[in-house]
Amino acid sequence: MQVDLLNVEGLCFGYNSMEVLNDISFGVKAGDYLGIVGPNGSGKSTLVRALLGLVQPGRGSITLFGASQAYFAEWQKIGYLPQRLKFFNPNFPGTVEEVVRLGLLAGKKFPKTRTKGDDEAVERTLALMGISEIGRRLIGELSGGQQQRVLLARAMVSEPELLILDEPTTALDPETREHFYGLVRDLNREKNTTVLLVTHDTWSIGKYATRFLYLDKKVIFDGTFDEFCRSPEMTGFFGEHAQHQICHRH
């Protein structure tokens, strides 16, 4: 039996007295491309932050690669791309190569020294992302699209088994967005990288994801996109017009 890479059971979370996540349960298997969608304030980003240990859930459990999240240590197996960097200083003087190399720290033991293999991995990943030519440029000098590709390269450089993307294309123009999703699809299909994509963009989910999870503080739907579109329950929940719009944008 295939073990879930990620398993969430009965997860609850609230800020002060406001409920954000209520009894969330789902699993992700190796090779899945899971799309998580939901309206603003539905708890999507909080769920991602809980998975990564950035917030502590009030109740429930998270298991990563068979280990409880609290004791999980193999962070090199997970690549994370946030919607935006919370503390990023645009004057940060680091080059693209230096930033991408950060993605290799998770797998290292103290004192985390740099090796020749690290440089090769960075070079390989920059080539994979098609950004080798900007390796020596400063991260702060790049456009939003280029920065996002650099951060994806940072997330990918350790060749993670699970890639968590939190609304990664919000700041991108449609052409760059399409290219970005193409890259992630190739990683999923060719390298069997498991992808968990949080987005507002149901069109992208329909086009690329193999599974679809609709979240609105609780799990409203968990299944394939086709199952969602054929589900009478979802027609009842969203109304025929809204469901049609979601399902026929791709």
Partner 1 sequence: MPSICSLRGNHYYVGFTEFISYGFIQRALLAGTLIAVLCAVLGVFLVLRRLSLIGDGLAHVTFGSVAIALYLRINPVYVTVAAIPLVLLSSLGILKLTDKARIYGDAAIGTVSSLGIACGILLASAAGGFNVDLFSYLFGSILSISSTELVISVGLFGVVMLVVALFYNDLFAITFDEELAKSSGIKTERINAVLVLLTALTVVLAMKVVGIMLISALLILPAVSALQISRGFRTTIAVAAGFAVFSVVSGIFGSFVLNLPTGGAIVIINIFLFILAFALKSLKGVKGEG
- Order of all β-strands in the sheet with 6-15: 18-28, 6-15, 59-64, 67-68
> Is 232 an interacting residue with respect to partner 1 (CB under 8 A)?
no
Looking at the Cβ atoms of 143 and 245, the one nearer to partner 1 is: 143
Minimal distance, residue 106 CB to partner 1, in Å: 4
Note whether 123 binds partner 1 by CB under 8 A: no
Residue 106 within binding range of partner 1, rule CB under 8 A: yes
**Nearest distance in Å: CB 19, partner 1:** 21
The verdict on 117 binding partner 1 (CB under 8 A) reads no
Q: Which of 59, 114, 230, 250 binds partner 1 (CB under 8 A)?
A: 114
Q: What is the rounded distance in angstroms from the CA atom of residue 115 to the CA atom of residue 100?
A: 14
Judged by CB under 8 A, the stretch of 96-104, 122-130, 219-227, 239-247 that binds partner 1 is 96-104
From the CB of 151, what's the least distance to partner 1, in Å? 8
State how far the Cα of 250 lies from the Cα of 246, in Å rounded to an integer: 8
Size, binding site for partner 1 by CB under 8 A: 31
Handedness of CA 68, 73, 79, 80 (dihedral sign): positive
Name the minimum Å distance from CB 95 to partner 1.
Answer: 5
Among 89, 109, 190, 232, which residue interacts with partner 1 (rule: CB under 8 A)? Answer: 89
Identify whether the C-beta of residue 180 lies closer than 8 Å to the C-beta of residue 94: no
Contact status: 127 vs partner 1 (CB under 8 A): no
Q: In the bound complex, what is the minimum distance in angstroms from residue 56's beta carbon to partner 1? A: 12
CA 176 – CA 169 distance, rounded (Å): 8
The verdict on 159 binding partner 1 (CB under 8 A) reads: no
Q: Which of residues 28-87 bind partner 1 (CB under 8 A)?
A: 52-54, 72-73, 75, 80, 82, 85-87
Q: Toward partner 1, which CB reaches closer, 30 or 138? A: 138
Question: Considering only residues 15, 71, 111, 174, which one is a binding residue for partner 1 as defined by CB under 8 A?
Answer: 111
Residues that bind partner 1 (CB under 8 A): 52-54, 72-73, 75, 80, 82, 85-89, 91-95, 98-99, 102-103, 105-106, 108, 110-112, 114, 136, 138
